[in-house]
């Protein structure tokens, strides 16, 4: 026992960044789906520039937690705080307005559109046409220029970026486009639900670099992944959920893949096994 288990020593686990106000914090969040207790008193804090890895077995509650932070679900109990202030978010739109952007487990891109169309989906800028605001037209040049800008900032190279719809792109390129959209709008926090699940090794590495670059620029992220190698490569801190409860919360460099697996499977951290 190295003292990192939330099940036994919560104060020690939260200690590393106690001096800074978290960008986002959830406190004692619980969520039931009828008889299923998907989350049970979960508290997590994300600090500026931090990549937080959220891991756990299938059904542990990871996506539910992300959906609560992104306004898709309402918690039954607990509170959400941004910059230390309580937030009430009843829709994903409200979360996005507050700068919380999500890349969902199942990608939400419109295949028929180009990357710039997807980047601005639902938030398309207009410019004045020939007769002023009587004939506002879609500001495609602005959309294209901003898309190129964000892709360059993240070092994402996609052939045919300005001409091809996303269904012609590879899984990795589409994932990169989805992350670029989140980075473009997510001024406060990025939520990524299994961003590398469908990708090959090279594309996964590229997506991880993109996540790291974004967070190094100050915007924190919560990343869900089943791939512990990826988690240890990109994350500063690791939170393990098991059966809806937080069983580990510690710095990545203070734990090991073996220890994290033990918490995921319940051979450590469970009542009577600490
Ligand atoms: N909309 C829903 N209705 C009913 N039950 C749900 C709903 N969403 C999630 N659950 C249940 O809540 C629990 C947690 O699900 P969740 O999707 O958060 O798990 P997860 O950790 O993301 O799993 P995975 O790794 O398989 O994606 C599961 O038992 C799941 O069946
Ligand atoms: Mg999930």
pLDDT single digits (tens) 3-39: 334 443 333 344 445 568 999 999 999 999 999 999 9
Residue 271 has pLDDT above 70, yes or no: no
Q: DSSP alpha helices (H): ranges in 139-224?
A: 140-153, 171-185, 201-216
| CATH code at 1-99+189-195+219-274 | 3.40.50.300
**So what's the pLDDT on residue 164?**
85
**So what's the pLDDT on residue 249?**
97
**So what's the pLDDT on residue 237?**
97
**CB of 75 closer than 8 Å to CB of 31:** yes
Nearest to 50 by CA among 240, 266, 235: 235
Determine which residue's CA is closest to atom 31 belonging to ligand 1.
59
Nearest to 179 by CA among 200, 215, 210: 210
Higher per-residue pLDDT: 95 or 20: 95
For residues 113 and 190, what is the distance between their CA atoms, to the nearest angstrom? Answer: 23
Give SS3 for 76. coil
**CB of 55 closer than 8 Å to CB of 2:** no
Per-residue pLDDT, averaged over 200-206, amounts to 79
**CB of 52 closer than 8 Å to CB of 220:** yes
For residues 165 and 84, what is the distance between their CA atoms, to the nearest angstrom? Answer: 41
Mean pLDDT, all residues of the chain: 84
How is residue 193 written in tokens? 């639900």
Residue 203 has pLDDT above 80, yes or no: no
Asked whether 36 lines ligand 1 (CB < 6 A), one says yes
Per-residue pLDDT, averaged over 123-146, amounts to 71
Asked whether 163 lines ligand 1 (CB < 6 A), one says no
Instruction: Tell me the per-residue pLDDT of 144-180, one tens digit each, with 9 for 90 and over.
Output: 888 888 888 778 888 888 888 888 888 778 888 888 8
Environment class of 5 (CB within 10 Å of its CB; exposed 0-12, middle 13-18, buried 19+): buried
Ligand closest in space to the Cα of 226? 1
For residues 51 and 166, what is the distance between their CA atoms, to the nearest angstrom? Answer: 27
What is the Cα gyration radius of the chain? 20
- pTM for the model stands at 0.84
Asked whether 68 lines ligand 1 (CB < 6 A), one says no
Residue 245 has pLDDT above 90, yes or no: yes
Higher per-residue pLDDT: 104 or 18: 104
**Percent over 70 (pLDDT), the chain:** 85
Residues with CB under 5 A from ligand 2 (ion): 63
Provide the residue ranges of all domains of the chain, joining segments of one domain with +: 1-99+189-195+219-274
CB atoms within 10 A of CB 141: 10
CA quadruple 85, 88, 91, 97: dihedral sign: negative
Determine which residue's CA is closest to atom 4 belonging to ligand 1.
33
**So what's the pLDDT on residue 106?**
67
**So what's the pLDDT on residue 100?**
94
Q: How far is CA 137 from CA 130, 163, 227, in A?
A: 9, 19, 44
Per-residue pLDDT, averaged over 48-67, amounts to 95
Higher per-residue pLDDT: 80 or 203: 80
Determine which residue's CA is closest to atom 16 belonging to ligand 1.
61
Higher per-residue pLDDT: 250 or 209: 250
Strand partners of residue 30: 77
Higher per-residue pLDDT: 162 or 256: 256
220 pLDDT tier (thresholds 50, 70, 90): very high
For residues 101 and 70, what is the distance between their CA atoms, to the nearest angstrom? Answer: 7
Asked whether 38 lines ligand 1 (CB < 6 A), one says yes
Nearest to 218 by CA among 8, 18, 23: 23
Q: What is the DSSP letter of 271?
A: T
Residue 135 has pLDDT above 90, yes or no: no
Q: What is the DSSP letter of 3?
A: S
Half-sphere exposure of 113 toward its Cβ, with a 13 Å CA cutoff? 17
**Percent over 90 (pLDDT), the chain:** 45
């Amino acid at each position: 026992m190295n003292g990192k288990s939330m099940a036994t020593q919560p104060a020690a686990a939260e200690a590393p960044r106690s001096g800074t106000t978290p960008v986002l914090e959830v406190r004692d969040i619980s969520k039931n789906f009828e008889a299923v207790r998907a989350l049970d008193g979960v508290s997590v804090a994300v600090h500026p520039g931090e990549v937080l890895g959220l891991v756990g077995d299938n059904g542990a509650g990871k996506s539910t937690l992300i959906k609560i932070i992104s306004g898709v679900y309402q918690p039954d109990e607990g509170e959400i705080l941004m910059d230390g202030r309580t937030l009430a978010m009843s829709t994903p739109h409200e979360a996005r307005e507050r700068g919380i952007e999500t890349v969902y487990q199942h990608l939400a891109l419109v295949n028929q559109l180009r990357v710039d169309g997807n980047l601005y989906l639902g938030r398309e800028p207009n410019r004045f046409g020939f007769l002023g605001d009587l004939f506002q037209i879609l500001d495609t040049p602005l959309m294209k220029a901003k898309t190129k800008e964000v892709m360059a900032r993240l070092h994402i190279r996609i052939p045919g970026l300005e001409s091809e719809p996303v269904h012609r792109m590879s899984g990795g390129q589409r994932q990169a486009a989805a992350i670029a959209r989140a980075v473009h709008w997510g001024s406060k926090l990025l939520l990524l639900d299994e961003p590398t699940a469908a990708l090959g090794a090279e594309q996964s590495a590229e997506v991880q670099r993109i996540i790291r670059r974004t967070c190094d620029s100050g915007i924190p992220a919560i990343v869900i992944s089943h791939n512990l190698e990826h988690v240890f490569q990109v994350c500063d801190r690791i939170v393990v959920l098991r059966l809806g409860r937080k069983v580990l919360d510690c710095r990545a460099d203070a734990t090991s893949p073996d220890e994290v697996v033990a918490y995921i499977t319940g051979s450590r951290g469970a009542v009577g096994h600490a």
